[in-house]
Chains A and B, each alone.
Chain A
Amino acid sequence: DAGVTQSPTHLIKTRGQHVTLRCSPISGHKSVSWYQQVLGQGPQFIFQYYEKEERGRGNFPDRFSARQFPNYSSELNVNALLLGDSALYLCASSWDSRNQPQHFGDGTRLSIL
């Protein structure tokens, strides 16, 4: 069975640009969460979406937004990119809204020049 898949694997952008990252959850999983992992640190929670609704949000600015589609896949959008947005963006999926357990994809490595 396929795990959580994310695309693209790597992305290079410049400051001020916009980026869209995509995630497909494990088949049957209805919850998708997004995390940001800066080099050398643990992942930080950005959003959870369940049944196409935002169910949780971490301490990230409004430049970060997301949505979930009827097939439970998800997109993370980041506007007005800053150098500090350079990180590994991880998507995790789970069966339900309690998000226990969460299974992660391999992430999208975003570099801002």
Chain B
Amino acid sequence: QQQVKQSPQSLIVQKGGISIINCAYENTAFDYFPWYQQFPGKGPALLIAIRPDVSEKKEGRFTISFNKSAKQFSLHIMDSQPGDSATYFCAASNPPRLTFGEGTQLTVNP
């Protein structure tokens, strides 16, 4: 019940395209859903986060869509750039712990 399932495992997008990563959860006690970006040799960096009382949150090129009834949430990266190439993790918080998805390796081709 603590699992967060993330898909796809890897994603290749052309520069300027839209990258979409999906996550699903079971535990309704989760109350905070962040997305992290991780480059090789670095720790995860917080990108954007949402709470379940909001259906969408946008920050720059990054948007989270949240569907509470389906227990699903997704990250959309608009106008994807080669510099966005990294591993992305969704996570869900049941304080104090974060439960992470398995990660999506995004490659943006120039």
Contacts and interface: CB of A to CB of B under 8 A. Distances in A.
B44 A99 contact: no
A43 B98 contact: yes
A58 B97 contact: yes
A99 B43 contact: no
Nearest to A91: B43
Interface residues of B, number: 23
Interface residues of B, dominant DSSP = strand
B95 A98 contact: yes
Interface in B61-110: 89, 91, 93, 95-103
Interface residues of A, number: 28
A43 B44 CA distance: 9
A102 B46 contact: yes
B106 to A, nearest CB: 15
Contacts of A52: none
Contacts of A43: 44, 89, 98, 100
Nearest to B103: A42
Given A42-B103, A101-B49, A106 B42 contact: yes
Given A33-B97, A99-B95, A99-B97, 15 more contacts: A33-B96, A40-B103, A42-B101, A43-B44, A43-B100, A45-B98, A45-B99, A48-B97, A55-B96, A99-B93, A100-B49, A100-B93, A102-B34, A102-B46, A104-B46
